[in-house]
Amino acid sequence: MRLRIAGNADAECLMDLINAAFRKAEGYIIDRDRVDIEVVQSLLAKGQFLVAEEESVLAGCVYLELRVERAYLGLLSVDPARQKAGIGSMLMSEAELRCAQGGCRFMDLKTIDLREDNRAFYKRRGYVETGTEPFASELTTKLSCHFVNMSKSLP
């Protein structure tokens, strides 16, 4: 497994990977793709995707945006066929290391309150809940939900 920073040429593969992972994890909450190509391209323009790649195939990714002393982490995605193999943890460890080396002192993320397994994963990694915010108003959900903000101090 090789880790690298994605380029613009990876946008379509990133979109497919993110949508497949989120469809499996959030299909009971949201009945649509998580991102489209325009969203991925706009994220590539303001931050970066760290990708895990095996034999030129994307196995996982995570979005990172360095914001002075705070970094934002989002869209942690692992190919559904490769989940539970440590790829997500590997991406998280590398993301935290890179952000700390980039001068960030904290890592922030948000997750949907209904994704208790997701919150438990982040809590095991040292993240604590710091508040909530409404779910995106432009998205229709099958169930009532909101975002839970989480944060962690970086070494």
Indicate the angle between helix axes 11-26 and 37-46, nearest 10 degrees.
110
pTM over 0.75: yes
The pLDDT assigned to 132 comes to 97
Reading the block at residue 14, the tokens are 């990133």
Reading the block at residue 155, the tokens are 């070494």
Domains and CATH numbers, the chain: 2-153 (3.40.630.30)
Tell me the mean pLDDT per 10 residues along the chain, length 155.
96 97 92 93 97 95 96 97 95 97 97 95 97 86 94 95
H helix runs in 27-155, sequence order: 37-46, 87-101, 116-124
The pLDDT assigned to 41 comes to 97
* Cross-sheet strand order for the sheet of 146-153: 2-5, 48-54, 57-67, 70-78, 106-112, 146-153, 128-134
The pLDDT assigned to 155 comes to 86
H helix runs in 1-115, sequence order: 11-26, 37-46, 87-101
The pLDDT assigned to 39 comes to 95
Residues in the chain: 155
Q: Measured between alpha carbons, how far is 62 from 80 in angstroms, rounded to an integer? A: 15
Q: What is the separation, in whole angstroms, between the first and last Cα of the chain?
A: 25
Residue 138 CA: distances (Å) to CA of 30, 110, 134, 135, 141? 12, 17, 11, 9, 10
Antiparallel, parallel or unpaired: β 106-112 and 70-78: parallel
| Cα four-point dihedral sign 95, 100, 104, 105 | positive
